[in-house]
Amino acid sequence: MEFSFTWDATSVSAAYSDRILQAGEKTTGYSSTCCCAANKIIYLRPSFLHSILPAINEVWFNPHLILKLKQNLSKSRMERGRGRWSSLSRGMLPLLALHTVTEYYRLDRKPPVTAALVAANTIIYLRPTFLHSILPTINQVWFNPHLILKYKDLKRFFLSAFYHLDDSHLVYNMLSLLWKGIQLETSMGSAEFASTVAALVAMSQGITLLLAKSLLLFFDYERPYYQEYAVGFSGVLFAMKVILNAQSDDYTYVHGLLVPTRYAAWAELILIQMFVPGVSFLGHLGGILAGLLFLHLKASYSGANPLRTIIRGLGHALNWPLRFVNCLFRRQRIGGRGTVGGRQTRDTSQMWRCQGCTFDNSGWLSVCEMCGTSRTDDVLSSLSSTDEVQDLSLDELRRRRIQRYGR
């Protein structure tokens, strides 16, 4: 693609000056002055700035060169996938960790599946040394429809969703997962949420693969989509967004645009595709369609979810050692209205009622837990203690109770 440009120094300088002066009318005088000075310095390009300022031939706006640079950037990212994963300079990851800890600290119930997903994606991205022999590299798991169908590569099909290109890619997806996962897991329950995530991973990847193959067969779209390389959890996140907003009648802002909440995923799909370069359109579209398909299947199927049953059974199997240890070290409690042991029913024959304050005390106690009156089996002693308590003033009775509980 060729582009021709005619450039005249006087006309360009005049055009720049007019535009700067017009912009300066809408801004402060200081800002407009700085803009004028910067543009004039760049235009004059004094000799002492030759080593800093590029020549005009190096900064022409050329779409062909920009697209070529974008392709080279994608290739360099693929190359960095081989050895960059063990580097330690990741400034955004501490922010992700801090946000995750803060979110979980304020929750009464900590959703374990969401935390496990965030941790798994982060560990895979960090790729510590002791996991090198277990975890494949990113070049081995790129989601590529051609390679998946040609070699029946299930590793690419399933694992590509858990790999990310860089810090910003991981942090953006994990923050979105944290927000959506906490809401869905809290409302569904951990077992059902885990089965939902497993189903959405398979469905979103499968629909993306089907879309790429269909475009190849019907429209001969081989290079744009069938040969595309993609990784990331965003397809599943789009599916979660559809499920989360399916029954909402409210409105929400998507990148500054007010849209109905149930259509927020579609708006985000279009806006991201327009303004964010290098994203996978089919991957995000496959996630939205997977969410819609999941809702349809869930509404039409009234039986028990077999995948949820399996995950719940595995959860119980993993929890039984903890329950066994808890039963061994469970301590018996002795209290005023409590019971001995965790599951025993209260035996009312072992209770005795204080004659002074009518508080029901455990049979193990010889002194009233409320007012401090001694327990006696003799009726006369009980009557005398009753008279003694009745003679006490209200302030004295309160003082004894405070003294009793303050021990």
Which of the residues are catalytic?
234, 284
Do the Cβ atoms of 235 and 283 come closer than 8 Å? Answer: yes
Compute and round to an integer the Cα radius of gyration of the chain. 35
Q: CA end-to-end span of the chain, whole Å?
A: 88
Helix axis angle, 9-26 to 29-44, nearest 10°? 170
The single-letter code of the amino acid at 123 is I
Do the Cβ atoms of 268 and 239 come closer than 8 Å? Answer: no
Following DSSP, what letter does each residue of 323-378 receive, concatenated? HHHHHHTPPP---SS--SSSSPPP-GGG-EE-TTT--EE-TT-SB-TTT-PBP-S-
Do the Cβ atoms of 248 and 199 come closer than 8 Å? Answer: no
CA 156 to chain centre: 23
- Residue indicated by tokens 């929890």: 319
Of the CA atoms within 13 Å of residue 333, those in its CB half-sphere come to 10
Parallel, antiparallel or unpaired: strands 251-254 and 257-260: antiparallel
Running DSSP on this structure, what letter comes out for residue 7?
A: -
